[in-house]
Amino acid sequence: MVAKPILWIVIPSYNEQEVLPITSGMLLEKIYSLTQKGVISDESRILFVNDGSSDDTWKIIRELTERDEHFKAVSLSRNYGHQNALFAGLMEAKNSCDITISLDCDGQDDIDAIDEMVDLYKTGYEVVYGVRSKRDKDGVFKKTTADAFYRLMTMMGAKIVSNHADYRLISRRALEELSRFEEVNLFLRGMVPMVGFPSATVFYERKERIAGESHYGIGKMLGLAFDGITSLSIRPIRLVAVLGFVISFISFLGVMWAIVQAFRGQTVSGWASMTCIICFVSGCQMLCLGIIGEYVGKIYLETKKRPRFIVEERLM
């Protein structure tokens, strides 16, 4: 284990002009502090990934790199989404460091948890997850949906760490293995645990956003959840098969009952019952087709082998 590991902090950034001047200073102070204590190497750096921002985010990042050598940056050719931007940063950093720590740009993740993460790495852990100790500051809706998300992911067979977003330490060894994952549809919260290697957990309190507004609304959260389920598990397809079998069996019993009633001369034409049956079966068919279609669409995207991101500019 490296006595003074080279740490690269990877931060995906999208339209963060309001918060960047604040969080960049906080992260730089953390790098200086850990370096002075002899915890990390003085070659440690902070890597910003500009994910196609439309405001002055890239301009601010460029100024930061000119002001201090500890700041590095890459700018993607367009907005590829949080997971792709984060993956791009990790792949840029893996050949220049011993460990990476990824976190969001909004300052909500407690950067003091970095100290404990590095200490755990030195004891032999290859991956250290930052996990929220509580969700008191979340509203009822967000807290309820977050709990439901983690339960649903577990039910669907995806191995993820509860209350963990993308605040984590990953060793270079683990990054090398992660780079071998070739899927286009990225869900790092589920992919990193699949790498294996010894892992640990650090608990922290998530703070309020320092400045600006969140770019991760309910639509993006639901999209991420659905991508996570369909990217990591085929259990929904199996549930569709089970549902189809159950409906077929019930329908078979219904047909047998209808035949018996016809022979007994007790059949009565019923528009309401027929309509209910048709609507129920049709609804199940459309739901099943939608789930299957989602998987087919993902297969289509995977087979095209399009690049997950394109780097337009590097400030290294």
Give the range of the structural domain holding residue 283, as residue numbers without chain letter: 235-304
Two tokens, residue 118: 């590095």
67 and 195 part of one domain: yes
Contact criterion met (CB below 8 Å) for 34 and 44: yes
DSSP string, the chain: --SS--EEEEEEESS-TTTHHHHHHHHHHHHHHHHHTTSS-TT-EEEEEE-S-SSSHHHHHHHHHHH-TTEEEEEESS---HHHHHHHHHHHHTTT-SEEEE--TTS-S-TTHHHHHHHHHHTT-SEEEEEES--TTS-HHHHHHHHHHHHHHHHTT----TTEEEEEEEEHHHHHHHTT---SS--HHHHHHHH-S-EEEEEE-----SSS--S--HHHHHHHHHHHHHHH--HHHHHHHHHHHHHHHHHHHHHHHHHHHHHTT-----HHHHHHHHHHHHHHHHHHHHHHHHHHHHHHHHHHT--S--EEEEE-
Provide the residue type at 169 as one letter.
L
259 and 274 part of one domain: yes
β-strands 164-171, 99-102 pairing: antiparallel
Read off the pLDDT of residues 188-234 as tens digits, 9 standing for 90 and up. 887 888 888 899 998 888 776 555 555 555 565 666 666 666 666 66
Rounded to two decimals, what is the model's pTM? Answer: 0.72
248 and 218 part of one domain: no
Read off the pLDDT of residues 88-125 as tens digits, 9 standing for 90 and up. 999 999 989 999 999 988 878 888 899 999 999 999 99
Q: Does 77 fall in a domain?
A: yes
pLDDT of residue 293: 72
11 and 101 part of one domain: yes
228 and 250 part of one domain: no
200 and 251 part of one domain: no
92 and 122 part of one domain: yes
What CATH number did the domain enclosing 155 receive?
Answer: 3.90.550.10
Two tokens, residue 13: 């950034």
Provide the residue type at 60 as one letter.
I
Read off the pLDDT of residues 196-205 as tens digits, 9 standing for 90 and up. 889 999 888 8
Count of domains for the chain: 2
Read off the pLDDT of residues 41-83 as tens digits, 9 standing for 90 and up. 999 999 999 998 999 999 999 999 999 999 999 999 999 888 8
Q: Report which of 247, 269, 271 is spatially closest to residue 258, judged by C-alpha positions.
A: 269
Read off the pLDDT of residues 141-164 as tens digits, 9 standing for 90 and up. 666 666 666 676 666 666 777 777
